[in-house]
Amino acid sequence: MLKPNDFFDQIESALDSKRPFVLFSKPDQRLIKSYIQLDSECYTINDFTESGFVFAPFERDKDSYYIPTDKSSLNKLESAEFEILSLSNTSNTNNSSIDHIDLVSKAIKKIKLSELEKVVVSSAVQCILDSCDPIQIFKNLFQKYPSAFTYCWYHPKTGFWFGASPERLLKLEGKNFSTMSLAGTQPYKGTKDIYWDKKNHKEHAFVTDYLLNAINDYLDVIKTIGPSTLKAGDLLHLQTLITGRLRSSKEPLNDLIRILHPTPAVCGTPRELALDFIRSSENYDREYYTGFFGELNISIESMPRNSKRNVENRAYQTIKKSTDLAVNLRCMKLINTTAVLYSGGGITKDSDPDQECVEIYNKIETVKSIL
């Protein structure tokens, strides 16, 4: 276990040599991990049998990059605490409120006149920073959003990306599978005991029903918990947890990712109709926003229940693979001293364009506040 200065010195060294690296912390863990690639090669995912930390785009036909476990060093930093420092950002360089209201209105009209039931539309806002310190940006994220999956990713092909995602795409540990439905948003006003209207419940139900239907052929013993209210930064969301056990005849990580990504929580339903609308109407490239990221096929040691970690019990140890992926929400891209902040919202026939614009603003402020 490295000391903080040594831990971040290794990141600085990777930056100097332009080698890919990732800093990340999983929800409710005061543990930071890093994968630092030992060479400068570019590794792309072929079929998700690879092992490492993956960074995947919204559009599935574009390259997903990863840092291989066998080509990188893994370091850990426990019980880290940092001071949140301001990077003195200026005002937004673009004001897209009117454009977003028009986009939402267009989406509502499309839903009412077609078979499209829900579509997630998004915007990007640029902020100019007085100073640029990628490591401090990550420290701010880690300190401010302990219940999120926070990360700082750098790769010569993608540049810098940062995020604090509240949404898991999937976790597969051995045969145990879990995912979540996360849709519906309100600002946090001091309590989680709030009323959720019909529009939010309907938006959430679209996602939950899709996920349950999609995984039904792959899992046994499927259970749901929720919907309940989840606090993520200064926002509240409706969340339903979904668990199950992979059928013995299935080895479907590639298939599960294919059917889950992109979910209705970041795209819409029916998926292809929603994708068509997004591609023709958003007028910008989401790149890795609403893609996914996380550890892929990492070997972990498993012990039988009630077994003690001693020499006699080493014979009972087994090695299984663990994959833990999050949806790339509450994220931003850093280009020199320009931060590009992304946000989106689910639109149904009951949506109100002005309210959707407020929701987009609240989500962008969640990320902007760490600057």
Bridge partners, residue 219, by sequence: 246
* Rounded-to-integer distance, Cα 299 and Cα 319, Å: 6
Which pLDDT does position 99 carry in this prediction?
87
Tell me, what's the pLDDT at 85?
A: 83
- pTM attached to this predicted model: 0.92
State the SS3 of the chain.
CCCHHHHHHHHHHHHHCCCCEEEEECCCCCEEEEEEECCCCCCECCCCCCCEEEEECCCCCCCCEEEEHHHEEEEEEECCCCCCCCCCEEEECCCCHHHHHHHHHHHHHHHHHCCCCEEEEEEEEEEEECCCCHHHHHHHHHHHCCCCEEEEEEECCCEEEEEEECCEEEEEECCEEEEEEEEEEEECCCCCCCCCCHHHHHHHHHHHHHHHHHHCCCEEEEEEEEEEEEEECCEEEEEEEEEEEECCCCCCHHHHHHHHCCCCCCCEECHHHHHHHHHHHCCCCCCCCCCEEEEEEEEEEECCCCCCCCHHHHHHCEEEEEEEEEECCCEEEEECCEEEEEEEEEECCCCCHHHHHHHHHHHHHHHHCCC
Residues 172 and 20: their CA atoms lie apart, in Å, by: 25
Domains and CATH numbers, the chain: 4-303+316-368 (3.60.120.10)
pLDDT digit string, tens, across residues 28-62? 888 999 999 999 999 999 999 999 999 999 999 99
pLDDT digits (tens), the chain, 371 positions: 678 889 999 999 999 999 999 999 999 888 999 999 999 999 999 999 999 999 999 999 999 999 999 999 999 999 778 888 887 665 565 656 778 899 999 999 999 999 999 999 999 999 999 888 999 999 999 999 999 999 999 999 999 999 999 999 999 999 999 999 998 888 889 999 999 999 899 889 989 999 999 999 999 999 999 999 999 888 899 999 999 999 876 567 999 999 999 999 999 999 999 999 999 999 899 999 999 999 999 998 766 655 555 555 555 567 889 999 999 999 999 999 999 999 999 999 999 999 998 888 888 888 888 88
Q: Look at residue 16 in the predicted model and tell me its pLDDT.
A: 93
* CA 201/CA 343 separation, integer angstroms: 20
